[in-house]
Amino acid sequence: MLNVGVIIKLEPDFSEGNVSYNSDGTLNRAETKNILGPHSAIACNAAFYCKVKYEARISIGTMGPPIAESALKQAQVLTDAEELNLYSDRLFAGADTLATAEVLKNGIGKMFGENKIDIVFSGHRASDGETGQTGPQTAWKLGYTFLGNVIGFDIDLGRNVVIAKRLISLQGMDIIIEEIESSLPVFITIDPSYRSIFNTVSQRLAANKFRKEGTKRSEEYRQFLRVFDSKKLDLDPKRVGLPGSPTIVYRVEKIPRAKTNRKTEVIDPSNPNTLSPLIAKIIQIVRGE
Amino acid sequence: MSKSTNQESISNHKIEKYRHLYVIIEHFEGQVIPVSLEMLGEARRLMDEFNSKYNSTEKVVAVVLGNNVRKLCDDLVTYGADSVIYADHEELKYPRNDIDTKVIVQIANDAKIMKIISPEYENTFVKPRYMFFAADNIGRHLSSTVLAELDSGLASDINKLVISDLDIRHEHKTKGQSIRYEKILEMYRPDFSGFLWTTILCLDNKNPEILREYHPQGCSIIPGAFRPIEKDNLRKGTIVEYSPNIDQELKIKILNRKVIKRTIDYETCKIVVSFGRGIKDNPEQNIKLIEEFAHLLGAEIGITLPLSKKPYQVSQNLDSKYMIADRVIGTSGSKITPTLYVAVGLSGAVQHVAGMKESEMVISINTDENSPIIDESDIFIKGRMEEVVPILIEQIKKQMSSISVRSS
Ligand SMILES: Cc1cc2nc3c(=O)[nH]c(=O)nc-3n(C[C@H](O)[C@H](O)[C@H](O)COP(=O)(O)OP(=O)(O)OC[C@H]3O[C@@H](n4cnc5c(N)ncnc54)[C@H](O)[C@@H]3O)c2cc1C
Ligand SMILES: Nc1ncnc2c1ncn2[C@@H]1O[C@H](COP(=O)(O)O)[C@@H](O)[C@H]1O
């Protein structure tokens, strides 16, 4: 039996129309509502693919305050997970990625009664502002082989390997698509462009069945929920939260306007006198003069 | 021990275990990628200032992994490295996170290399003081795993760096006392909106209850954020070959590797018209308008990052053609240098500007004179794109036909 874990995060909803800004253009965090992060949702889809195709069991974990439950519930709708785990403790507050990874490592270790997890999925990065470091750091602490930027994968259960496609895009360079093979267990950070495809009728039927089941389960998600504090996770309080974080946020400020050497001319488009020299200039450039 | 080290240890009453700035270099098909040279440039500027301020001789150390990479090393010296440590091995031909992490960690922990690159610190060196990676598909993950193994702190997506001495009072780090930290790397990170800067520090715990030392202070750097130094063929540096220990069973096998040309070619294109969330009032109509405008100019079309996340409902055709990652201009996409850049309904966040600021001429169309894009514009047309773009189309058509009539 294939055991799959997913680590997800409750995040501010940055999608159009849902973000609330302060008058100075900064994000109003209090007014912006929280949802299952979009990249976490993609990681959930990848786990669901394992369920449909390889009959995997799915366990979802998140580190966060009690309200992060709602993200677990949303993740269960997407995955029909048999287990939800909330890692929650006041001691975890203020963690940087290294201290977060410490918690998630032990959390993943407790999934499915400490049965070894074969594949863990994480999102590429939390909503646009975040780091993308949590996944690989958790992987490293777990001692799992880390595969980043994965856009597609399949599992060979007989040989106990995963075959994955990765997309690597470096600034100004052509795009690389790599096909790789790795023995399980692996930790996969799923690329935003990942889409699960169910080719056969039986896969589609199974997907529908599990989707219905997931929705139903999520209505009573607390039955599936386990809550862990630092003691239950056997964590050293010195290695989590603020005390366990090498980094601190020192200050937050508005980015001053960069000085540029452009002399800006502001044009009123309804005034033909200012517009026509500009049009002439544009035409010059178009004609390569 | 050299004279400068003596002076330092006397003035600080302690021996320093952490030295130098290590820059992890990335390359592709025999070429160092631009962000690596940009990091070297910034490292050079920082360490020149550092050495004169602290009266020391710490180095910019470039680290290169690969197969047949010796030929890249001289160039790294001319771009600012004092030393280059390279590991050449068949198994290092293509980037692979697990093995690359192990080799970089071996190099970072190796004090014997100091005998060659800085003998004055050979007996005291424990680890690098600072470490830079590129904030791209390779460096983002590599920095994470390397710093996890070295058990130290990491900040991502940095676009400004300062080294300074700071008085810190922190509940956990200093147990509420004010303590002076020396030679701290202030790592500035622009947030999601591009309007706020968060400064992140990686600090040792000096609280007696949780004493921990965190070095190197690591970060990943946004491509395009810094400038390389002028290439100087006379610069001298030490080049050291490192024989990595690759005995472990390799977990990842590369079965196949394809290089795909980017579908949109901004390099040969003289004019680029980009749009942002300002299309929101009527996305379908506005994209078509911009499409018409771009056709008229013979321009390629770019977008801002949020649009690649498909925030608006538009027809399948426009969606698959334009709302795609390949068209993003900025740190997460392409850096371009067209003759003319037209910015339609986009605000000019730092991450976007990093991709277009070298354009020869910039025209922006925007309703809001307070949008930062105004500072990057030669011409700022104030108004709604729904009104301005049709006027431009009409006027250009008119003038073009009158010119060609006259000249025929
Ligand atoms: C790690 C990281 C990397 C990033 N990388 C990139 C990147 O590579 N490229 C990128 O673009 N962004 C990037 N971003 C996002 C960036 O910070 C901004 O959020 C984004 O560029 C803003 O997009 P925008 O200008 O389209 O939207 P907004 O900031 O919402 O601006 C919309 C503009 O449209 C104007 N407007 C509104 N209505 C009209 C109208 N009718 N006519 C004309 N103008 C109108 C408004 O005045 C405003 O200036 C990154 C962010 C992070 C955190
Ligand atoms: N507190 C958390 N609990 C569980 N998963 C997390 C947490 N923070 C980050 N992750 C995972 O790591 C990914 C990248 O997050 P980040 O490193 O914050 O950008 C997310 O998409 C999640 O999959």
pLDDT digit string (tens) for chain B, length 408 residues: 344 444 444 444 578 999 999 999 999 989 999 999 999 999 999 999 999 999 999 999 999 999 999 999 999 999 999 999 999 999 999 999 999 999 999 999 999 999 999 999 999 999 999 999 999 999 999 999 999 999 999 999 999 999 999 999 999 999 999 999 999 999 999 887 777 899 999 999 999 999 999 999 999 999 888 999 999 999 999 999 999 988 767 789 999 999 988 778 787 889 999 999 999 999 999 999 999 999 999 999 999 998 988 788 899 999 999 998 889 999 888 889 999 999 999 999 988 998 999 899 999 999 999 999 999 999 999 999 999 999 999 999 998 887 665 554
Same domain? For B301 and B238 the reply is: no
Whole-number pLDDT of residue B240:
97
Same domain? For B102 and B219 the reply is: yes
Same domain? For B199 and B318 the reply is: no
Which ligand is located closest to the Cα atom of residue A129? 1
Total of domains in chain B: 2
- In a domain? residue B251: no
Chain centroid offset of residue A68 CA? 14
Q: Judge: A178–B277 Cβ closer than 8 Å, yes or no.
A: no
Q: Is the Cβ atom of B347 under 6 angstroms away from ligand 1?
A: yes
Same domain? For B293 and B336 the reply is: yes
Whole-number pLDDT of residue A24:
62
A286 vs B contacts (CB less than 8 Å)? 271, 297-298
| Number of other residues whose CB lies within 10 A of the CB of residue B293 | 23
Q: Say which CATH number the domain at B200 has.
A: 3.40.50.620
Domain span holding position B371: 271-401
- In a domain? residue B407: no
Q: Judge: A250–B340 Cβ closer than 8 Å, yes or no.
A: no
- In a domain? residue B5: no
Q: Is the Cβ atom of A9 under 6 angstroms away from ligand 2?
A: yes
Q: Judge: B395–A279 Cβ closer than 8 Å, yes or no.
A: yes
Same domain? For B214 and B283 the reply is: no
Same domain? For B235 and B283 the reply is: no
Name residue, tokens 């390279």: B86
CA B374 to centroid of ligand 1, rounded, Å: 13
The reply to whether CATH 3.40.50.2300 applies to domain A3-239 is no
**Regions of chain A with pLDDT less than 50:** none
Test mutation, A98, A142, A163, A171, chain B, max B CBs within 10 A: A171
Question: Can you name the residues that pair with B134 across neighbouring β-strands?
Answer: B221
Rounded to two decimals, what is the model's pTM?
0.88
Helix H, strand E, coil C: the string for A120-166 is EEECCCCCCCCCCCHHHHHHHHHCCEEEEEEEEEEEECCCCEEEEEE
Whole-number pLDDT of residue B4:
44
Taking the CA of residue A174 and the nearest CA in chain B, the distance in Å comes to 5
Please list, residue by residue across A234-243, b when 16 or more beta carbons sit within 10 angstroms of its beta carbon and e when fewer do. Answer: ebeebbbbbb
Q: Which atom of ligand 1 is nearest to the CA of B191?
A: 53
Residue A269: which of B136, B192, B383 has the nearest Cβ? B383
Taking the CA of residue B323 and the nearest CA in chain A, the distance in Å comes to 13
Q: Say which CATH number the domain at B291 has.
A: 3.40.50.1220
Q: What are the C-alpha distances in Å from A113 to residues A83, A228, B54?
A: 10, 13, 55
Nearest C-alpha in B relative to A12: B192
Same domain? For B278 and B233 the reply is: no
Contacts of residue A216, Cβ cutoff 8 Å, sequence gap at least 6: none
Q: How many helices (H) and strands (E) does chain A have?
A: 6, 13
Test mutation, A153, A250, A261, A278, chain B, max B CBs within 10 A: A250
Same domain? For B72 and B144 the reply is: yes
Same domain? For B82 and B195 the reply is: yes
Per-domain boundaries in chain A: 3-239
Would an 8 Å CB–CB cutoff place A258 in contact with chain B?
yes
The pairing of beta strand B300-303 with beta strand B340-344: unpaired
A243 vs B contacts (CB less than 8 Å)? 172, 205, 207, 210
Same domain? For B289 and B396 the reply is: yes
Q: Is the Cβ atom of B216 under 6 angstroms away from ligand 1?
A: no
Same domain? For B200 and B279 the reply is: no
Whole-number pLDDT of residue B3:
42
Whole-number pLDDT of residue B408:
45
- In a domain? residue B249: no
CA A208 to centroid of ligand 2, rounded, Å: 28
Token couple for B309:
């996340």
**Alpha-carbon Rg for chain B in angstroms:** 25
The tens digit of pLDDT for each residue in A93-120 reads 999 999 999 999 999 999 998 788 999 9
Strand order in the sheet with B361-366: A265-267, B379-382, B361-366, B340-344, B271-275, B300-303
Torsion sign, CA atoms A186, A190, A191, A195? positive
Give this complex's ipTM. 0.89
- In a domain? residue B95: yes
